[in-house]
Amino acid sequence: MDAVIAAGGKGTRLGELTREIPKCLIEVAGRPLLSLQLEELSRSGIRKVWLLTGHLGEQVEGYVRNNEQPVEVEIIREEAPLGTGGGLASLAGRIEEPFVFLYGDLVLSLDLGRMRAFHDRSGAEVTMLGHPSSHPGDSDLILEGEGGRVLGISRKSRERGAWLRNLGNAGLYILPPDLPASIERDARRDFEKEVLPPYIETGSAFVYRTTEYVKDMGTPERLAEAGEAIGTGAAEARRLSNRQRAIFLDRDGTINEFVGLVSRPEQLRLIKGAAAAIRRINRSSYLCFVVSNQPAAARNLCDLADIETINRKMETLLGEEGAFIDDIRFCPHHPDKGYPEENPALKIECGCRKPKPGMLLELAERYNIDLGESYLIGDTSVDVMTAANAGTRSILVASGMKEEIPKFDARPGLRAADLGEAVGAILDERPVALS
């Protein structure tokens, strides 16, 4: 593929740093951001990069001309600001295959091959890169439908009036080669507001969810964070071509208060300290997933859409405290049949209902997780048995069901009072004796 970098912005949020230096040449971990971007794109097999420049573009041209680059680079200078999307019109007829489009303030460590495979498999015209955000109230959130189809974008707002999945728009896309020809030449266009919507409206835009490192460095605080992530190797470790470690979490009784089967959003309340514990995971080298049995729909206490809404509330509440879940899996099934009020379609034997390991195995495949180096934290013997069946380690917390008669004779590797103590045992590297 080719790639296009929109590098013409002024970077006003960086203040004095971009007064005399274009944003894409600001140093991150001792190197110009553009150098890091070109290297990353080259690693993913990008053959040519088109740079759309504007503000202080002569410096960008000088940098490219005077330094050896890992890919072929061609620069197109905007004579007047064309917004985030207008410059794409200059590529009409010059690109023949799907191409990558990204903003010039992104620091990334990303296996683009996985994203391209999803793009081809889904039949998308446009694929957006999505990931959970530590600041969802200050992020555009992607509304995702079945199979990853994009239903819309909720613009950044701390008062959205609805529970939403924490799936932020990362600012990186795979676009069709005929898109540039659809944009009027020399016209200022906002990519998200004017260029992207027709693809969402026709159902041809999809979102590829990843846990990899893709962050904008558009503020001094984020620039410092990105520099640390690059410098320490944390960003590189997140590439899904590398084996990952994860902490899997049960939901009810581990993250939110145990009140029996949760069938309505108002029943979900976070356990005190749960968000802080998950925030610690987010800042560590572990990914964080929720794997939960949710048979309320099978019992006809609610439907699948209600369970999704409840999970969205959990994500929203966590996001308000700067914490996020990398991905969620839940099992809506229940094997016991014969009740008049049941939903027969969900009263089935399955491979995903804990203690079967299906949810963990699916996530391990999707995110290249080493289960032997991972943990499952939950409040029942079902969770402990699930960990054993998946070949991962277990920690049993006392914050949930407090069952008197365990369903399974399975010993946890460790017992903890709550999620905070369990996460502390892992991240502070206290020894965990496996059963």
For residue 183, the number of C-alpha atoms closer than 13 Å in the C-beta half-sphere is 28
The answer to whether residue 140 is catalytic is: no
Catalytic residue among 105, 111, 216, 250: 250
Beta-bridged to residue 51, according to DSSP, are 5, 75
Catalytic residue among 2, 105, 111, 252: 252
- Within 147-210, strands assigned E span 150-154, 168-175, 205-209
Q: Where are the alpha helices (DSSP H) in 32-108?
A: 33-43, 57-66
Task: Please identify which residue in the block is written with the tokens 């009263």.
Answer: 347
Q: For 185, phi and psi rounded to 5 degrees?
A: -65, 140
The answer to whether residue 250 is catalytic is: yes
Give the single-character DSSP code of 369.
B
Contacts of 237 (CB under 8 A, 6+ apart): 285
The pair of structure tokens assigned to 196 is 């992207």
- What gap in Å lies between CA 45 and CA 2, rounded to an integer? 9
Q: Would you say 280 and 427 are in contact if contact means Cβ atoms under 8 Å apart?
A: yes
3-state secondary structure of 7: strand
Closest CA to 120 of 158, 174, 163: 174
For residue 218, the number of C-alpha atoms closer than 13 Å in the C-beta half-sphere is 17
Positions annotated as catalytic residues are: 250, 252
